[in-house]
Amino acid sequence: MTSSEIAIIGSGINSLVAAAELALAGKQVCLIERQDRLGGFIHSSERTLPGFVHDTFSSWHPLFVSGGAYQSLGRELHARGLEYCNTDGAVTASVAGDARTGAHRVAIAHRDPSVTAAGLHAPEDEGAYLTMLEDLGRNAGTVFGAFGAELRSFKQVLKIAFGALKRGKIKGTEAFVRDSVMSGRNYLRSRFDGWEADQLWSPWLLHAGLGPDQATGGVMLPVMAMSMHTHGLPVVKGGASNFVAAFESLLREKGVRILLDTDVDEVLMEAGKVVGLKTSNGPIDTNTVLANVSPQALYSRLLSQAPDGTAKAAVRYQNGRGAMQIHLALDKPVEWLDARLNTVPLVHVSSGSDSTGIACAQAEAGLLPAEPTVVVGQQCVLDPSRAPRGKATLWVQLQEVPFAPRGDAAGVLAVDDGWSVELKEQYMERVLSRIEQFAPGTRDSVLAWDILAPTDLASENPNAVKGDPYGGSAELFQNLLWRPFPEAAGHRTPIKGLWHIGASTHPGPGLSGGSGHLVAQRLNKSSKP
């Protein structure tokens, strides 16, 4: 039996952050990963053709560089080779066709919020946009305090609440809370007369595991906007695997024991306390475990004696929509009809809450959306090293896809065989046709492709239950104070020495490393004399 002071199950971003912060504080750490590599959904490789480097899953790092984990670890990671590519100009955009006139509608966000606001055409919208950001800035201590706090800690919540009341008094705080729990659609309707802000930011709610008609969009939408105005859309130079490589270098240098190709079969307990782990490569003796796994895996598989009610609650835990990744090697960069989009790192094909809301509803009903929201990532705009000279990669993400399709909303594609190679390629053609509307010639420039359906994501990473890469729906009933569910909310579980981290725990999905940072801070603080 080997021994380790702290064992971490899984090696996604929250595990990497926790392992690094604990090791830097002098802790003995063991990191256990079932795959033959670290990183979880952070990976890059030449998935299509030699010389074309694709970020296989996640790609953009605004939440990481703006969070507490980066403040703690950024210098260490940059010293070990991490380098970001970013933009000072246009950061994101959305394009759609106007059903009434047939004209194309384009909305663009720039790093400079005043430039973005000036592009809104309704008379009152320029001021409304800047006011939206000012309101968030005034309440930043509340919002980001909540994201960076243990919400089951009465002391921390009281501190946040007192600060909110001090800044906004009762009336102002009530108004902010009301806005925060609104859906993104209703929040935008309450503030803007024109279409641009909706078309621009509603699709970004998908990246938070939400849709435009789900609660808390009223806070997540301005958070997304402010994070990109402030931090842009950084990508890792040379591919996302270089981010993991910097972490691995730091971990090995600080003595972290890394076990790859190792499955954890059970968390061993005695008298309600963790005493070790049973793994495919032998037992590990430890009294502290950080489990970066789904609630279903933790309470229904890894614990032979789950606390009362938790196993049943885990079974009821609701995962969100599935996702799909399409990687394209292009003979030339995309040439959009609106040439301004040629230099925008990430473009959504969406009319905003209307088309995205319909696509979400179709996916929730088990249908392939007829007009999906298409996330078009142009990483080569920021990092030309990812493709041979004159060529380009395209990172296409679809976040409104059923795990087990029951039909096609367009009534065209047969789904009887599930996500077969044929269905994946047919759906890719639908997606490319959406892009082709606004960037003719894109389909003819495709040299090779690689498609990951929701079933492929679930096979690659067991935390992506039912193909959901966001660790479960982020709707209010299982978010913030109630994530993953009331019976085991928070990171400290009912089992002494067992902590739960990852996207299914507070502060939820996204590449912030927030839960790993929170737990590492608590463990480091508790061990100080």
Residues 278-293: tens digit of each pLDDT? 999 999 999 999 999 9
Q: Which helix (H) or strand (E) holds 317?
A: none
Question: What is the rounded CA–CA span in Å between residue 508 and residue 514?
Answer: 8
Residue 361, CA atoms < 13 Å, CB-side half-sphere: 8
Nearest partner of 301 among 259, 264, 272, 270, judged by Cα: 264
Residue ranges matching CATH 3.90.660 in the chain: 321-460
Give rounded-to-5 percent helix, strand, coil for the chain. 40, 20, 40
pLDDT digits (tens, 9 = 90+) for 206-235: 999 999 999 999 999 999 999 999 999 999
Question: What is the rounded CA–CA span in Å between residue 141 and residue 136?
Answer: 9
CATH value of 321-460 in 1.20.120, 1.10.10, 3.90.660, 3.30.379 = 3.90.660
Helix, strand or coil for residue 346?
strand
Amino acid of residue 303 = L
Nearest partner of 231 among 80, 67, 371, 78, judged by Cα: 67
pLDDT digits (tens, 9 = 90+) for 2-13: 667 899 999 999
Name the average pLDDT for the chain. Answer: 93
pLDDT digits (tens, 9 = 90+) for 408-421: 999 999 999 999 99
Residue 174, CA atoms < 13 Å, CB-side half-sphere: 3
Q: What would the CATH number be for the domain defined by 2-42+56-84+238-317+470-526?
A: 3.50.50.60
- Res 169 pLDDT > 60: no
Helix, strand or coil for residue 243?
helix
Question: What is the rounded CA–CA span in Å between residue 3 and residue 439?
Answer: 57
User: Using an 8 Å Cβ cutoff, are 300 and 465 in contact?
Assistant: no
Question: What is the rounded CA–CA span in Å between residue 156 and residue 463?
Answer: 29
Amino acid of residue 338 = D
Residue ranges matching CATH 3.50.50.60 in the chain: 2-42+56-84+238-317+470-526
The least confident of 33-42, 165-174, 338-347, 492-501 is 165-174
**What's the burial of 506, exposed, middle or buried (CB within 10 Å: 0-12/13-18/19+)?**
buried
